[in-house]
Structure 1
Amino acid sequence: MASFRRMGYEVSQFADWMALLPESLTTIPLRSLAIPGSNASFSCTVTNANQISPDNSLPVKIFGHISCCLGKERILQWNRTQDLSVVQQLTSGVRYFEAQVAAYSSTGDFRVVCGLYGDELSSCMSKINSFLDVHEKEVIILDINKFYNMNDILHMKLLSIITHSFDDKLCPYETGGDVSLSSLWAQGHRVIVIYHHDIVNEYDNFWPGDAIFYHPRLTSISPPDLLCQLETNLKNATDKKLFKCVRGVVSFSNRMCLLRLPSSRKREISSIVTPEITSWVKDKSRAEIPIITVDFVNLSNFVRHVVQRNTLDSEELLQGPKTCMNGKHIE
């Protein structure tokens, strides 16, 4: 089995990191692996040419409509959380994707939202499916956790679209969440869809919202506050038989954003928080880091450091410092 020594450190080298795990890690529960994820994963598809979406607060909606193009540009800059495209995130090693979805009244389709409308969810899923066709041992967790402008009929329609998109790649729900990479590979299952609506209980191929636990549950307002919450959680953590998602994310209030209106989320928040979380991750073991999400996953080699938590304590990496393919030392 190939190791991360042979993978090197270039971002593209992590396109198959699950396939390259030591065999001993492919048989443990998937929830026990350190999995890099992106916050509001599909916000990369949002543009200021699109309409203001229903996930905004009323004051933000009013501001956006009154200020027209300038208002939508500011909404974009303070809501977008990812620069990398869906394919670039997949290739870089991201394996957990989080989405908020709204029924788009003008066309009747379902679009991802993050302050403004983005691409159709079906388009994002098609890119994931195409990636999985090539990278045959990678597994994706798709967490659809907020919905707007939707009723039960629309939920059924959306579930049908998701089923058609992934077909037999969908992993049926298993209470306890003890699926492993090896068990998924044996069954040909490649995608776990967590769907936060009660209607999902009538569908075998979808996992309910309570299959994942988020920490912290409430959005932190500063990096120190976030790191404090994460450390407290590690000390008080209990063994829960479900997926756990650590949110390495800080969000400002509307008032604080207004005071910094000419700037952006990336400049004011993410360029500080994502490097802080990456440094925090580097000091943790695999057992301490489950799924972890950040804004702008391309900052500070975040994905690389999360993926490497899986093997740093294995025997194959105890022989000396890790090297990349050209022999240089990796930090």
Structure 2
Amino acid sequence: MYLPSDSDLAPQISAFLVYQLANFISVWSRMGPRCSHDSFANLLYTNHPVANDEGRLLRAVGRIKIIRYFIRKWAITQSVSVIEQLKAGIRYFDVRLSIPDCHTSLTGIHVLHALYGRQLSYILFEINRFLMSHKKEVIILDFNHFYNFDFVSFKEFIKLIENSFALKTLTPRCPLSGLSLDFMWKYGYQIIAIIPYHYSDNQMKISWIWGPESIVSPYPNVNRLDHLFKFLEITLKNHRKTHKECFYVTQAILTAKFRDICFHPWSSLKETFSIKCTEQTVSWISSFAHPSFFNIIMCDFINYYNFCEIVAYLNYQLID
């Protein structure tokens, strides 16, 4: 199967996004934005300790640097940068954040997945640069995991978001039934920021914070494709029966178990699980009987098997 490059994808995907449904109410409650799992886990550092999202045992074993090389092979979930993902059409970003422990030389807020990645400020800068040159593009930032944060560091995180983007681009909370691209273009909104209410009820007073009630994202936590798609079909159909007014994420991902890593020590998440999973996901969504059930579709390694193109084509079908 043809594997597209980012330069191949960018022109057609970008043109599509500018066109799609300017007057369609609740565009994301019925359509399927492209979404990357652990979006910024394309670059993870082995020259720093194991990240604080892992347990004590792995952090202790991970003091040996060569072990961290093995950890990285099983922790990387994407192979392209945030800018390359944006150019490929990804518009929902799944974000995990940490304040690194004091025994590291890292400062500030970092992304992570078993190992620490880039500083969040650099990633937000790149996203803002893209949005400034693409005024009609809209993204969702789903900040769903926070490690080692307290009230002070969480306030710093909120300030970082506000300083990284023009406040006028941060979409205020509103019912999804009133959200459309036409509405967002009219007022210059480009970012929906979903953030859990962890540290203060005062967060609810910040108009641009969309709370955890605005999204449902069932986690399969399985390592077999047959179990995965059974789970996805059941949860997807159950959600459609409830008619909840919220974003819904279909997590088309496999999770490696400890025994999987032990049986494949020289392999990686990508080679053992993710590439096969992305391939089967593309086939599954292409033949799914009710494509209108989909909302946000999440995958690892989004630059394989025409994932972005297939989801865009799904949108075209729904428009027609």
The answer to whether the superposition gives a TM-score over 0.5 is yes
**Aligned-partner SS, 2:62:** helix
| Residue matched to 1:139 | 138
Residue of structure 2 aligned with 1:292, choices 279, 297, 309: 297
Is residue 19 of structure 2 the alignment partner of residue 20 of structure 1? yes
| Residue matched to 2:34 | 36
Q: Which structure 2 residues correspond to residues 57-136 of structure 1 after superposition, within 5 A?
A: 57-65=55-63, 68-104=64-100, 105=102, 106-136=105-135
Q: Distance in 2 between matches of 1:177 and 1:98?
A: 23
| Residue matched to 1:329 | none
**Aligned-partner SS, 1:10:** helix
| Residue matched to 2:45 | 47
Query: What is the letter of the counterpart of residue 206 of structure 2?
Result: Y
Aligned length: 303
Shift of 1:31: 2.5
**Aligned-partner SS, 1:220:** coil
Q: Which structure 2 residues correspond to residues 144-155 of structure 1 after superposition, within 5 A?
A: 144-155=143-154
Q: Distance in 1 between matches of 2:258 and 2:155?
A: 34
Q: Distance in 2 between matches of 1:302 and 1:162?
A: 29
Which runs of no fewer than 5 residues in structure 1 stay unpaired? 1-8, 316-331
Contact 2:90 2:308 (8 Å CA) reproduced: yes
Among all aligned residue pairs of Structure 1 and Structure 2, give the percentage whose two residues are the same amino acid: 26
Shift of 1:44: 1.2
1:94-133 Cα shifts (integer Å, max 9, x gaps): 0000111011344541000111111111111111111111
Shift of 1:22: 4.4
Residue of structure 2 aligned with 1:306, choices 287, 297, 311: 311
**Aligned-partner SS, 1:109:** coil
Contact 1:37 1:292 (8 Å CA) reproduced: yes
1:222-245 Cα shifts (integer Å, max 9, x gaps): 111010111223433321100001
| Residue matched to 2:273 | 269
Contact 2:26 2:177 (8 Å CA) reproduced: no
Q: Does 42-51 or 69-78 show the bigger shift?
A: 42-51
Shift of 1:51: 2.9
Q: Distance in 1 between matches of 2:107 and 2:45?
A: 20
Shift of 1:194: 0.4
Q: 1:18 to 1:126 in 2, by over 3 A?
A: same
TM-score, reference length from structure 2: 0.89
Q: Distance in 2 between matches of 1:16 and 1:58?
A: 48
Q: 1:235 to 1:61 in 2, by over 3 A?
A: same
**Aligned-partner SS, 1:144:** strand
Q: Distance in 1 between matches of 2:78 and 2:158?
A: 25
Which runs of no fewer than 5 residues in structure 2 stay unpaired? 1-6
| Residue matched to 2:212 | 209
**Aligned-partner SS, 1:197:** coil
Shift of 1:256: 2.1
Shift of 1:267: 0.3
Q: 1:17 to 1:56 in 2, by over 3 A?
A: farther
Q: Distance in 2 between matches of 1:253 and 1:177?
A: 40
Q: 1:201 to 1:218 in 2, by over 3 A?
A: farther
| Residue matched to 2:4 | none
Contact 1:244 1:290 (8 Å CA) reproduced: yes
Contact 1:15 1:135 (8 Å CA) reproduced: no
| Residue matched to 1:184 | 184
Q: 1:164 to 1:286 in 2, by over 3 A?
A: farther
Q: Distance in 1 between matches of 2:273 and 2:223?
A: 10
Q: Distance in 2 between matches of 1:263 and 1:248?
A: 21
Q: Does 107-116 or 149-158 show the bigger shift?
A: 107-116
Is residue 174 of structure 2 the alignment partner of residue 174 of structure 1? yes
**Aligned-partner SS, 1:230:** helix
Shift of 1:177: 6.0
Q: Distance in 1 between matches of 2:52 and 2:211?
A: 23
Query: What is the letter of the counterpart of residue 273 of structure 1?
Result: C
Q: Distance in 1 between matches of 2:318 and 2:195?
A: 34
Shift of 1:181: 0.9
